[in-house]
Chains A and B, each alone.
Chain A
Amino acid sequence: MKKFLNKENIFILVFLLFIIISRLLHVQEVEPITKNFMNFSIEIFTLVPCIFILIGIFDVWVPQETIQKHTGECSGLKGSIFVILLAMFQGGPLYGAFPVAHILWEKGCSPRNVFMYLGAFSTLKIPMLFFEVSFIGLEFALLRAVIALPVFIIIAEIMSRYSAVRHAN
């Protein structure tokens, strides 16, 4: 019971009560809220279950460990491709990527590839691309990814030069 009554669930219950009471009292003003709620719910819940099932299937067929095994080769162009692939197959928020990036750095990964990893992690994660395509569109997702790739390569280049200068001093 205690587990059920968390912040989110209380908020949802209060909202549902509010809707039911305003319906019973025939408050016309809040009618659009109910309409919005129904429309958005239908839209989101016809897409989201499929996306999660796809992510689950993807996860069992391409386990992260397979890719992480290759952490050894981490410099040069081969390393760049490796870190981008590593990032694409991971999930979770950006602050979860900092420890991994730090390990890559300590393992002798070039700074350029460390920042390439962070860039790819934040823009090219495959599970997030499922969401992006479904909710905003394929054209948008592809265009944004294609533009983001060179942008974060440039950022990685600048960061790598900056950290080299800092290191030299």
Chain B
Amino acid sequence: MPTSVILALLTITVLGISALADRRKTWQGVTKGVKMLLKLLPHFLVLVILVSVFLWLLPQNTLVAYLGQESGFMGMIIAAVLGALALIPGPIAYPLCGVLLEQGVSYAVLAVFITTLMMVGILTLPVETKYFGARISILRNVLCWLGALVIGALVGVLL
């Protein structure tokens, strides 16, 4: 069964149970979800456009060569650098990863990218420094960056 069907069935089931328990609360939840979706809708469209154009410009197999199964450690390093620099919200980042996966990017590379994206933030370092000081912030980012590579390598070996 395709993921979309499973997800739709799950959503209908959850909605049904929730509505049985409390109709008003359920309606509130649905409204909340739809509001979040509408807020992010333009961003999803921009992502789709950028990915469509980018994959058209990119010669075939380039992505696989640099970020695919055979790219090994180099692919993970590329992903770790991009993930540390990028500021992409999760709801946009995961669909991007889904597309990349279909294009042949490996699980290990995706794991490194997602983990560094979430745990390491070069651009948000000034904010972090304000709360925790420079030494602690830098050490945390460096450790998390290395940790992400470990996570990616293990995911790559096990999946």
Residues of A within 8 A of B (CB): 6, 8-9, 11-12, 15, 30, 32-34, 36-37, 40-41, 43-61, 93-95, 98-99, 101-102, 115, 118-119, 122-123, 125, 127-128, 131-132, 134-136, 139-140, 143-144, 147-148, 151-152, 154-155, 158-159, 162-163, 166
- The contact of A32 among B56, B98, B107, by CB within 8 Å, is B56
Bound CA–CA A45/B91 (angstroms): 12
Give every chain A residue within 8 A of B159 (Cβ-Cβ).
139-140, 143
Nearest-neighbour CB distance to chain B for A147, whole angstroms, equals: 5
Q: Are A53 and B56 in contact (CB under 8 A)?
A: no
Q: Are A128 and B155 in contact (CB under 8 A)?
A: no
Give every chain B residue within 8 A of A135 (Cβ-Cβ).
94-95, 97-98, 101
- The contact of A53 among B15, B52, B139, by CB within 8 Å, is B15
Q: Are A8 and B42 in contact (CB under 8 A)?
A: yes
Q: Interface extent on B, as a size class?
A: 35 or more
B62 at the interface (CB under 8 A from A): no
CB closest chain-B residue, reference A92:
B89
Q: Are A152 and B107 in contact (CB under 8 A)?
A: no
Q: Are A134 and B94 in contact (CB under 8 A)?
A: yes
Q: Are B4 and A46 in contact (CB under 8 A)?
A: yes
Residues facing A in B21-67 (CB within 8 A) are 25-26, 28-34, 36-37, 42-49, 51-53, 55-56
Residues of B within 8 A of A (CB): 3-4, 7-8, 10-11, 14-15, 18, 25-26, 28-34, 36-37, 42-49, 51-53, 55-56, 87, 89-91, 94-95, 97-99, 101, 107, 110-111, 114-115, 118-119, 121, 124, 127-128, 130-132, 135-136, 139-140, 143-144, 147, 150-151, 154-155, 158-159
- A53-B147 contact in complex given A134-B94, A166-B135, C-beta closer than 8 Å: no
Give every chain B residue within 8 A of A46 (Cβ-Cβ).
4, 8
Bound CA–CA A67/B149 (angstroms): 32
A–B complex contacts, Cβ < 8 Å, 30 sampled? A30-B56, A33-B56, A36-B55, A37-B49, A37-B52, A44-B44, A49-B34, A49-B37, A50-B8, A56-B29, A57-B14, A57-B29, A57-B33, A59-B29, A95-B128, A98-B127, A123-B115, A128-B118, A131-B91, A136-B110, A140-B159, A147-B155, A148-B147, A151-B151, A152-B147, A155-B140, A155-B143, A158-B139, A159-B143, A162-B136
